[in-house]
Amino acid sequence: MTNLSVELAPRHASGLSLKNPVLAASGTFGYGNEYAKLIDVNRLGAVVSKAITLRPREGNAQPRIAETPSGMLNAIGLQNVGLNVAVREKAPMWASWSVPVIANIAGFTVDEYVRVAETLSETPGVAAIELNISCPNVASEGEMFGLSGASAALVTREVRAVCDVPLLVKLSPNVTDIVEIARAVVDAGADALTLINTIPGMVIDVRRRQPYLANLTGGLSGPAIRPIAVRMVWQVAQAVDVPIVGVGGVASTDDALQFIMAGASAVQIGTGTFVNPGTMLDVVDGLQVFLESEGIEDVNDLIGVAARRAETNFEA
């Protein structure tokens, strides 16, 4: 009776309609099969793959992860099998599933992004592409693509031109004005936005008196960043008219509802799955229960409801 399905790419011919708004976040669900013994992957709204780069990558040295209060840092360094293996070995598996798989892609030059996107967009089994722009741009002294509206728009535009499937762009939170970046990326052709990627952080190993991670810094994820992610989703939702996929610290149905009410059409869950592999399916079930108990017929009616209420209830 109640409807949990959402559309992530209304501007695109495919629509990218998902049976529910709960996705596995990139880098936290491998290529989608690793958790198959524990959960029914086909019950998810969608799976986002680990970042795929043009060539296979070894990733960073150890240590790669560190626990922090209600969070964790990771500095995996985009270890992945590379485009060819993804196309040859992973995509056929994805094509056999009923759950759509969104390929997360990364690169260090615009050309790399374009080549990966072009190939994947033509590969059966890839339902959409998520552009990870939190990568160092070799051409700009390693500054991340996602840190300026101009470079974020540039890579989005070039990828858009070669990408036939829906295109999600995943924003870095590490900016003064997330709204500016969001607008630039939407203008450049993004069908939807995913936010947020991890926030750069550092832990010092005080015994050894040096940074704990071999990479020095790592990306902060988990419940610790949830209030920041919800705030950014809220801000961007007021400013753009494409669907937003909220991500950052979701560990429960209430957390997912926070994102949806702040303006997200769907959520991704990453670190929450590490802590409890059942989190995503618990949230799918929990949303169903919430809608029924509150007498709401369609989850779409909840998207951004907090902004509409705040307008009437606060003078802010």
Partner 1 sequence: MKTGLASVIANDEIAERVYVVRLEEPDQARDVRAGQFVHVKCGGTADPLLRRPLSVLRTGANPRNRLPAGQYDVLYDVVGRGTDLLSHLRPGDLVDVLGPLGQPFQIERTTKRLLLVGGGVGIVPLVALAEEALRRQLEVTLLAGFRNARKAFPANLVPEEVEYVVATDDGSLGHAGLVTALIPSYLNWADQLCACGPKPMLKALTELPRTRKLPTQIAMEEHMGCAMGVCLGCVVPTRHGYQRVCRDGPVFSLEEIIWS
CA-CA distance, 164 to 66, in Å (whole number)?
38
Q: Which is nearer to its own copies, 53 or 258 (CB)?
A: 258
Q: Reduce the DSSP state of residue 103 to 3 states and report it.
A: strand
What would the two tokens of residue 224 be?
Answer: 């610790």
CA-CA distance, 144 to 303, in Å (whole number)?
30
Does residue 281 bind its own copies (CB under 8 A)? no
Among its own copies, partner 1, ligand FMN, none, residue 121 binds (CB under 5-8 Å by kind): none
Q: Which is nearer to partner 1, 137 or 258 (CB)?
A: 258
**Least distance to partner 1, CB of residue 225, Å:** 11
The answer to whether residues 120 and 148 touch, using CB atoms and an 8 Å cutoff, is no
Q: Which is nearer to its own copies, 167 or 225 (CB)?
A: 225
What would the two tokens of residue 257 be?
Answer: 């509802």
Size of the site for its own copies (CB under 8 A): 51
CA-CA distance, 251 to 130, in Å (whole number)?
22
Does residue 270 bind ligand FMN (CB under 6 A)? yes
Among its own copies, ligand FMN, partner 1, none, residue 79 binds (CB under 5-8 Å by kind): partner 1
Q: Which is nearer to ligand FMN, 119 or 198 (CB)?
A: 198
Q: Indicate the burial class of 244 (C-beta count within 10 angstroms; 0-12, 13-18, 19 or more).
A: buried
Does residue 224 bind its own copies (CB under 8 A)? yes
What is the distance of C-alpha 281 from the center of its chain? 17
Q: Is the Cα dihedral 60, 49, 108, 249 positive or negative?
A: negative
Segment 142 to 201, residues that bind ligand FMN, using CB under 6 A = 170, 197-198
**Least distance to its own copies, CB of residue 217, Å:** 5
Does residue 138 bind its own copies (CB under 8 A)? no
- Spatial neighbors of 155 by CB under 8 A, at least 6 apart, are 107, 110, 113, 131, 133, 145
Among partner 1, ligand FMN, its own copies, none, residue 281 binds (CB under 5-8 Å by kind): none
Among partner 1, its own copies, ligand FMN, none, residue 45 binds (CB under 5-8 Å by kind): none
Does residue 216 bind its own copies (CB under 8 A)? yes
Entry field: residues in the chain? 316
Neighbours of 256 (CB within 10 A): 29
Does residue 292 bind its own copies (CB under 8 A)? no
The catalytic residue positions are 135
The answer to whether residues 233 and 225 touch, using CB atoms and an 8 Å cutoff, is no
Does residue 221 bind ligand FMN (CB under 6 A)? yes
CA-CA distance, 200 to 214, in Å (whole number)?
14
Q: Which is nearer to its own copies, 165 or 302 (CB)?
A: 302
Q: Indicate the burial class of 62 (C-beta count within 10 angstroms; 0-12, 13-18, 19 or more).
A: exposed
Which of residues 269, 291, 299, 306 is near ligand FMN by CB under 6 A?
Answer: 269
Site of interaction with its own copies (CB under 8 A): 68-71, 73, 147-148, 174-177, 199-204, 206, 208-211, 214-217, 220, 222-228, 230-231, 234, 249, 254, 257-258, 261-262, 302, 305-306, 309-310, 313-314, 316
